[in-house]
Amino acid sequence: MAQPLIEPITAEALPEFAEFLNAHLEGSRSKEAWVKGLKKSWGMAAPNHGFMLKDAGKIVGGIGAYYASRLINGKTERLCNITSWCVLNAYRKQSMRLAMAIIGQKAYHFTDFSPTKVVGGVLQFLKFRPLDERQAVILNLPWLSLGSKLIARASDIENNLSDNTLQIYRDHAVFPWLNHVLVGTPSNWCHVIYKWRLFKGLPAAHILFLSDRNVFDRHFRRLSAHFLSRGIVSTHVECRFIGRPPWPSVIRSGFNAKVFLSSTLADRDIDYLYSETMALDL
């Protein structure tokens, strides 16, 4: 029996792959939502939208991919974020071939921010490195923060950013499930992107990106008071994004580690911009 074929997911094939994900990925979104989410790319023309496994002309598995060209440490880098790895049980032995098709593409750094324990193990076998998965859970309090400013209105955020920082904001402001604030001072802002979640039945802010950890650390109390004024009880931020966790806080751990593959980038260079974490309402 011939091996199933591996093919790139082209723009024309994306609706078919989206229908496969809708049918077989647990908790899946609609076909239309998958197409809209997976067709994103930033700063470059995507070479594909991932790779799919086909047997007798029918999709039996696949891995989605997001591509972005980004400025990191003053250098233009190309990133590929793996997403939505789904293979039918009868074809699980072919999963490694799919992974090799993705990472066989040259001149990319690769990330996977939602691996299951099994997928994470497979990717670490392929030399992916785990990121620190610990999260600080911080109780929001009505702090007084003299000298700290906060901006939450979209037009004011645009007026206070420029160049690459403004482009990052505009690229992510299109996703309605993301919230943006600037905290700091007019000469030194930290751009914070967060999602509203529930934690132990109470509103929480899950921070997905902060542009400057030092500014964040200095001005967190202003952000904390802002969250509390909007009924958000706790702030959740990964320990790798910050210095010492603000008081009062606890550290949660035991999550599936996110992973990345790069010969030149370090874990401190990896964030969630231009990835499934932002582009999909997970």
Render pLDDT for 45-64 as a digit per residue (tens, 0 to 9): 999 999 999 999 999 999 99
**b or e along 208-219 (b: 16 or more beta carbons within 10 Å of the residue's beta carbon)?**
bbbbbeebbebb
pLDDT in tens, 190-246: 999 999 999 999 999 999 999 999 999 999 999 999 999 999 999 999 999 998 899
DSSP of 6-70: EEE--TTTHHHHHHHHHHHSTT---HHHHHHHHT-EESS--S-SEEEEEETTEEEEEEEEEEEEE
* 280 pLDDT more than 80: yes
* Under 8 Å between Cβ of 173 and 181: no
Q: Report the predicted TM-score, pTM, of the whole model to 2 decimal places.
A: 0.94
* 138 pLDDT more than 70: yes
Q: Which class for 4: exposed (0-12), middle (13-18), buried (19 or more C-beta within 10 A)? A: buried
Rg of the chain (C-alpha set): 20
Q: What pLDDT was estimated at residue 1? A: 56
> What are the counts of helices (DSSP H) followed by strands (DSSP E) for the chain?
8, 15
Which ranges of 200-251 does DSSP label H, i.e. alpha helix? 213-229
Q: What pLDDT was estimated at residue 235? A: 98
| 164 — pLDDT class (breaks 50, 70, 90) | very high
Find the mean pLDDT for residues 28-32.
84
- Which one has a higher pLDDT value, 179 or 146? 179
Find the mean pLDDT for residues 147-167.
96
The amino acid sitting at 124 is: Q
Can you say whether the dihedral through the CA atoms of 207, 213, 217, 219 is positive or negative? Answer: negative
Closest CA to 121 of 130, 110, 113: 130
The amino acid sitting at 34 is: W
How many Cα atoms occupy the beta-carbon half-sphere of 134 within 13 Å?
12
C-alpha to C-alpha distance for 270 and 177, rounded to whole angstroms: 21
Structure tokens at 42: 């930033």
pLDDT in tens, 72-86: 999 999 999 999 999
pLDDT in tens, 81-110: 999 999 999 999 999 999 999 999 999 999
